[in-house]
Amino acid sequence: MSAETEPLLSVRGLTKHFPVRQGLRARGAVRAVDGLDFDVRPGETLGLVGESGCGKTTTGRMLVRLLEPTSGSITFAGRDITHGGRRELRGLRQDLQIIFQDPYASLNPRHTVGRIVAMPLQVNRITPPGGVKKRVQELLELVGLNPEHYNRYPHEFSGGQRQRIGIARALALKPKLIVADEPVSALDVSIQAQVINLLRDLQRDLDLAFVFIAHDLAVIRHFCHRVAVMYLGTIVEIGDRDTIYTRPQHPYTRALLSAIPDVTTLGPAGRIRLTGDVPTPLNPPSGCRFRTRCWKATDHCATEEPALTTRDDGGQLTACHYPESGPVGMPTGEPVEVSK
Amino acid sequence: MSLSPVEGAALAEIESSDQEPDEKKRLVGRSPGQLVWARLRRDRTAMVSGVVLALFILAAVAAPLIQRLYGVSPNQQFGDLLDATGMPLGYVGGVSGDHWFGLEPGLGRDIFIRMIYGIRTSLLIALGAALVTTTIGVVLGIVAGFLGGVVDSVISWITDVALALPFLIFALAVVPTFSLRFYGPRDAVPTWFAVTTLIVVFAAFGWTGTARLVRGQVVSLREREFVEAARASGAGLGHMLFRQLLPNIWAPILVAFSLAVPSYVTGEAALSFLGVGLPESVPSFGRMIYRSIDYLQTDPAYVFFPGITIFALVLAFNLFGDALRDALDPKSSR
């Protein structure tokens, strides 16, 4: 992953505020996503991880333009796609597809599998060589389904099979980048592994780039090259998978990683317990958004928002005034100010 | 229909294995249309009501042919078969080999052939009005539900206004005015004009129910991810409305349609009775019933034959609509 490669997707200052109205007057806004910066290179997988309500899904939906960003810019393959209309986006839609979280809601119950998978071809008026039916059957085979299931309805399939149908639909236009919005969190653990491995094979064979949204750290670790950790609408840390998992610098990342259940060390050893709840995105805390739950927070954290900068030359970016060092799992003890 | 959503696939396999071996091959390649047909075939109610409906429609379409075979025209009068008070001679309203359902008291016209022609006019008006109202209602409802916002507010407001207007008073006022606009007070209004006027009047009021029904359904469906998947693939508004959403709301639309048809049959009868419907010379199904009310005590057979027929027609429509909904629903448990 050389840094010189032109990024396929480049996001700068991406923001989404949902206005909250009472009557006709606006009463502030839910700051669901507040100033994201990240790049995805061709063939790369970026994991977006964070707890519920941190803006992961909103981000994914903005990337495929199901939601209009409030501000910021999205550049895909050198073109600014932040505010393009349907016609301008037409060519681009083919390169940028989404896999949804709920395999029960994402397939039209009145359409056959063949019609569902052919839908992207149909709306873009594409006739693949050999005909639509042949292409659909190829796609079904590609995702590990029986091509003869062409005429069946979604309700005749299990959750995992349905998710495969959703993947086949996303692949129909031969995209370059797929936004996968929690593609396995609605599935059984045993099925999760199958679907993840399928996505990994597809990524390798078709040279796809992924933005992989999940709250399951193990899944992210298995699948992603790079990981971005989100908290309350911002990225608090972004870096290569191994760096994030072995040497996290942000206290929140540490707390997240320490929460992974580990059968070898049952009990509270090494577990960082965060107290309190996530603050409301209507009125996020000043300065560092994590400071209300951070055990290292000082007055400095309340006044100045930490920038997402690198601390060493590992390419890992952390938004923290007092970053951690050392491998994960070590009890961090008392707050220690790190000299800069 | 014993397929539950989860076990559908498994059951399909089991079912196919205990039928003939060539059944299995067919099962794999069956298209959705074939599936609906197969489900209808297995539903006894659907088959019976369907056959009844088909007979009605056949009778309506083939009315001139039936007239030729029967040998009596709808406006032919048989005064010699009536007694001095105008009541038909013989039993049960004058039923005989020549006049199967007897004769009308007073004018002495043949009831059977007038009913055949009456089915023709009634079905034409009812089906026409139901088609027009359903189309208008579906389009307005689906657009209002999906787009929301100002469009929804405007369409809902128009719906409320249309619902607030009293139908009968409006029809009584508009239909004669409308006829006078094109024809003089002494001219005979042609049948096609009267029929079109009736359909227009029904359409102006009938779409509101369907529009509200469809709007409600669409509001509950528009946030579903399969609609967003279409949008993410670059689908236009038309595709999302009519390819993605519409197939999911066919069931309530069909039920509304199947309930609308019989209500227009009676609606046409009511308007004809009040003198703003069809001219007297046109055999109208509902009009016969209203005329026969006067003879309820003296000649019950005159009420009986049209009454039973209209009952069968309405019942068949409702049962068939119900069965069709079950057959169209792939998750239906019946």
Q: What is the pLDDT of residues B216-262, one digit of tens each?
A: 999 989 888 899 888 888 888 889 898 899 988 887 888 788 878 87
Which residues does chain B have within 8 Å of residue A66's beta carbon, measured at their own beta carbons?
228, 231-232
Q: Mark out the alpha helices in A272-317 (DSSP H runs).
A: 299-303
- For position A266, what pLDDT does the model report? 53
**What is Dmax (Cα atoms) for chain B?**
79
Share of chain B above pLDDT 90, in %: 18
Q: Which fold has domain B53-328?
A: MetI-like fold (1.10.3720)
- For position B148, what pLDDT does the model report? 87
Q: Which residue of A has its CA nearest to B34?
A: A151
Residue A77: φ, ψ to 5°: 50, 45
- Residue A60 in 3-state DSSP? helix
Q: Report DSSP state, residue A9.
A: E
User: Taking residues A309-327, what's their average pLDDT?
Assistant: 78
Which CA distances in Å does A123 have to A89, A256, B218, B244? Answer: 13, 42, 21, 11
Q: What is the pLDDT of residues B111-140, one digit of tens each?
A: 888 888 888 888 889 999 999 999 999 999
A120 to chain B, any CB pair closer than 8 A? The answer is yes
Band (B144; pLDDT cuts 50, 70, 90): very high
- For position B332, what pLDDT does the model report? 58
- For position A337, what pLDDT does the model report? 42
CB contact under 8 A, A97 and B331: no
Nearest CA-CA partner of A290 in A339, A331, A323, A246: A323
Band (B214; pLDDT cuts 50, 70, 90): very high
Query: Alpha carbon A339 to chain centroid distance?
Result: 33
Q: What is the pLDDT of residues A169-224, one digit of tens each?
A: 999 988 999 999 999 888 888 888 889 999 999 998 998 999 999 988 888 988 89
- For position B31, what pLDDT does the model report? 61
CB contact under 8 A, A148 and B229: no
- For position B6, what pLDDT does the model report? 41
- For position B140, what pLDDT does the model report? 94
Band (B152; pLDDT cuts 50, 70, 90): very high
Band (A329; pLDDT cuts 50, 70, 90): low
CA dihedral A238, A46, A12, A41 (to 10 degrees): 120
Is residue A18 predicted with pLDDT exceeding 70? yes
- For chain B, what is the mean pLDDT? 81
- Residue A263 in 3-state DSSP? helix
3-state secondary structure labels for all residues of chain B: CCCCCCCHHHHHHHHHHCCCHHHHHHHHCCCHHHHHHHHHHHCHHHHHHHHHHHHHHHHHHCHHHHHHHHCCCCCCECHHHECCCCCECCCCCCCCCCCCCCECCCCCEEHHHHHHHHHHHHHHHHHHHHHHHHHHHHHHHHHHHHHCHHHHHHHHHHHHHHHHCCHHHHHHHHHHHHHHHHCCCCCCCCHHHHHHHHHHHHHHHHHHHHHHHHHHHHHHHCCCHHHHHHHHCCCCHHHHHHHHHHHHHHHHHHHHHHHHHHHHHHHHHHHHHCCCCCCCCCCCHHHHHHHHHHHCCCCHHHHHHHHHHHHHHHHHHHHHHHHHHHHHCCCCCC
- Residue A176 in 3-state DSSP? coil
- For position A333, what pLDDT does the model report? 46
Q: Measured between alpha carbons, how far is B27 from B8 in angstroms, rounded to an integer?
A: 13
The domain spans of chain B are 53-328
B332 to chain A, any CB pair closer than 8 A? The answer is no
User: Taking residues B34-38, what's their average pLDDT?
Assistant: 78
Q: What is the pLDDT of residues B284-295, one digit of tens each?
A: 877 787 778 888
Considering only CB atoms, B233 lies closest to which of A100, A109, A124, namely A124
Interface A–B counts its CB contacts (< 8 A) at: 87
- Residue A117 in 3-state DSSP? helix
A203 to chain B, any CB pair closer than 8 A? The answer is no
Query: Alpha carbon A219 to chain centroid distance?
Result: 12
More confident residue, B279 or A128: A128
| Strand order from edge to edge, sheet including A79-80 | A25-40, A9-22, A71-76, A79-80
More confident residue, B199 or A267: B199
Q: Measured between alpha carbons, how far is A160 from A178 in angstroms, rounded to an integer?
A: 18
Q: What is the pLDDT of residues A83-134, one digit of tens each?
A: 877 777 777 778 889 999 888 889 998 888 999 999 999 888 888 888 889 9
Nearest CA-CA partner of A102 in A137, A57, A144, A142: A57
CB contact under 8 A, A173 and B229: no
Reported in sequence order, the residue ranges of chain A that DSSP labels E, i.e. its strands, are 9-22, 25-40, 45-49, 71-76, 79-80, 96-99, 177-181, 209-214, 226-231, 234-240, 309-310, 317-318
Is residue A21 predicted with pLDDT exceeding 90? no
Cα dihedral across residues A229, A230, A231, A234: positive or negative? positive
More confident residue, B310 or B54: B54
User: Taking residues B202-227, what's their average pLDDT?
Assistant: 90
Which residues does chain A have within 8 Å of residue B250's beta carbon, measured at their own beta carbons?
110
User: Taking residues A7-33, what's their average pLDDT?
Assistant: 85
Please give the single-letter amino acid code of residue B271: L
- For position A265, what pLDDT does the model report? 56
Band (B25; pLDDT cuts 50, 70, 90): very low
Q: Mark out the alpha helices in A21-130 (DSSP H runs).
A: 56-63, 86-93, 113-123
Q: Report DSSP state, residue A155.
A: G
More confident residue, B40 or B214: B214
Pairing of strands A226-231, A234-240: antiparallel
Q: What is the pLDDT of residues B88-108, one digit of tens each?
A: 877 777 777 777 888 888 888
CB contact under 8 A, B12 and A156: yes
Is residue B22 predicted with pLDDT exceeding 60? no
Residue with tokens 């990225």: A235
Band (B270; pLDDT cuts 50, 70, 90): confident
Residue B47: φ, ψ to 5°: -65, -45
Band (A19; pLDDT cuts 50, 70, 90): confident
Share of chain B above pLDDT 70, in %: 88
- For chain A, what is the mean pLDDT? 84
- For position A275, what pLDDT does the model report? 80
- For position B15, what pLDDT does the model report? 40
Is residue A71 predicted with pLDDT exceeding 80? yes
Q: Which residue of A has its CA nearest to B332?
A: A155
- For position A107, what pLDDT does the model report? 92
Which residues does chain B have within 8 Å of residue A112's beta carbon, measured at their own beta carbons?
32
B31 to chain A, any CB pair closer than 8 A? The answer is yes
Q: Are B141 and B307 in contact (CB under 8 A)?
A: no
Going by CATH, does the domain composed of A9-95+175-318 fall within 3.40.50.300?
yes
Nearest CA-CA partner of B232 in A67, A64, A211, A81: A64
Considering only CB atoms, B225 lies closest to which of A97, A105, A156, namely A105
Considering only CB atoms, B5 lies closest to which of A65, A148, A155, namely A155
Nearest CA-CA partner of A66 in B58, A74, B26, A257: A74
Residue with tokens 């519409």: B246
- For position B182, what pLDDT does the model report? 83
Which CA distances in Å does B133 have to A257, B137, B141, B284? Answer: 61, 6, 12, 21
Mutate to test the interface with A, among B35, B225, B245, B248 (most CBs of A within 10 A): B225
Q: Measured between alpha carbons, how far apart are the two ends of chain B, in Å?
A: 4
Joined together, the tokens standing for residue A46 give 């970026």
Count of beta carbons in the 10 Å neighbourhood of residue B306 = 24
Residue with tokens 């048989």: B78
Is residue A340 predicted with pLDDT exceeding 60? no
Band (B142; pLDDT cuts 50, 70, 90): very high
